[in-house]
Amino acid sequence: MSLSQREGVDIRPTLLRVLTDLYVQTPDHTPDEERQFTELTTRLLDEVDDATRAVVRAKLAIYPNTPRDIRRKLMIPPPPIYPRHAAPSLQPAQSEVEPATVTAPPLVPQQPLPVLSMKPQDASSLIEMFTAASSKERAKILENLLDAPLKPSAKVDPRRAARALATLEGAAMVADAQAFTVELADALTLPASVTKEIVADPLGEPIACAMKALGMDADAFQRVLLFLNPAIGASVIDVYRLARMYDVLSERVALIMLAAWRGSSVVAARAKYKPQLYDGERQRARTTPSTSTVSPFSEEHQPHRLPLK
């Protein structure tokens, strides 16, 4: 902040984004950390532009432990509570209400939330947070993604998806994880390294998102759970948990996860080819040898002359 005051550079938008990124990297926080983040974020949100607010809102909307005051300030809906029970009706009977006292609430038009395309770094952060989370935290993240203003990936072509689903189910029935991974990578246009992590995930939520993005029905997904991964298929509790989650999983959420996987693969590719030295790119450039042309009239091409006597 002192640097910005001395040089006249407004670093408040950058500071807010950095604070948000650091906060969502950890699943749990102490009360002091939550209080400090709430105070700093509340103050900075009033001083940044709309674009920065939208980016911060998109990140905090999918984070399961966003402070309540920040959710209220950014108008983020509260996380769902399990199990969902219908609240008892507290309205009086129609006969007990006088017609003169019944007034309809004014209709306030709701502005549609901006839909943001995830940058590769944001997509990588989402995938890292989702991978490190537990089953309950993953369920919260997926439910929060439903209301997050993030742009989902385009749907897979129905004919291509139908061919892929038949091949994937056949490979799962014979427990051929390699063939399943190859077909999944081709159908979802993902790198092999990403699909291997999806298939080998021990909890099973990534494979559920991948199958939902392709449009697999619930019965076929249960057969995939039973035969593809022995660690999951041997647990009745895990199969029942994933099958129940698959029934309520939205296709939009699955396509957002697909967009995040594609974006995170871009970050991984950039990190793989990142130069280690400050002039690494210059050293990798091919140098052409300089060909110097010697004039035929120079001393090197002059015949040796004997000294005159």
Task: Assign 6 a pLDDT band (cuts: 50, 70, 90).
Answer: low
Q: How far apart are CA 88 and CA 173, in angstroms?
A: 46
pLDDT for res 275: 53
Name the amino acid, one letter, at 212: K
**Which residues partner with 150 through β-bridges?**
116
Query: Taking 80 as the threshold, does the pLDDT of residue 302 lie above it?
Result: no
| Arithmetic mean of pLDDT over the chain | 79
Query: Taking 80 as the threshold, does the pLDDT of residue 99 lie above it?
Result: no
**Contact in structure between 49 and 85 (CB atoms under 8 Å):** no
Kindly report, residue by residue over 194-221, the tens digit of the pLDDT: 999 999 999 999 999 999 999 999 999 9
Query: Taking 90 as the threshold, does the pLDDT of residue 106 lie above it?
Result: no
Angle at alpha carbon of residue 236, lines to 232 and 240, rounded to 5°: 90
Q: How far apart are CA 43 and CA 48, in angstroms?
A: 10
For the chain, the DSSP string reads: -HHHHHHT---HHHHHHHHHHHHHTSS---HHHHHHHHHHHHHHHTTS-HHHHHHHHHHHHS-TT--HHHHHHHTPPPPP-SS--PPPP-PPPGGGS-GGG--PPPP-PPPPPPPBPPPHHHHHHHHHHHHHS-HHHHHHHHHHHTTS-BPPPPPPPHHHHHHHHHHHHHHHHTT-HHHHHHHHHHHHT--HHHHHHHHH-SS-HHHHHHHHHHT--HHHHHHHHHHS-HHHHT-HHHHHHHHHHHHH--HHHHHHHHHHHHHHHHHHHHHHT--SSTTHHHHHSPPPPP-PPPPTTSGGGSPP-PPP-
pLDDT for res 80: 58
Look at residues 70, 18, 62, 22 and name the one whose alpha carbon lies nearest to residue 42. Answer: 70
Least confident span in 36-40, 130-134, 299-303? 299-303
Task: Assign 187 a pLDDT band (cuts: 50, 70, 90).
Answer: very high
Query: Taking 80 as the threshold, does the pLDDT of residue 135 lie above it?
Result: yes
pLDDT for res 93: 46
Q: Specify the higher pLDDT residue, 111 or 126.
A: 126
Reading the block at residue 309, the tokens are 């006597």
Least confident span in 1-15, 25-39, 218-232? 1-15
Task: Assign 261 a pLDDT band (cuts: 50, 70, 90).
Answer: very high
**Contact in structure between 264 and 194 (CB atoms under 8 Å):** yes
Over range 133-146, report the average pLDDT. 90
For 54-93, the DSSP string reads: HHHHHHHHS-TT--HHHHHHHTPPPPP-SS--PPPP-PPP
Least confident span in 15-19, 23-27, 292-296? 292-296
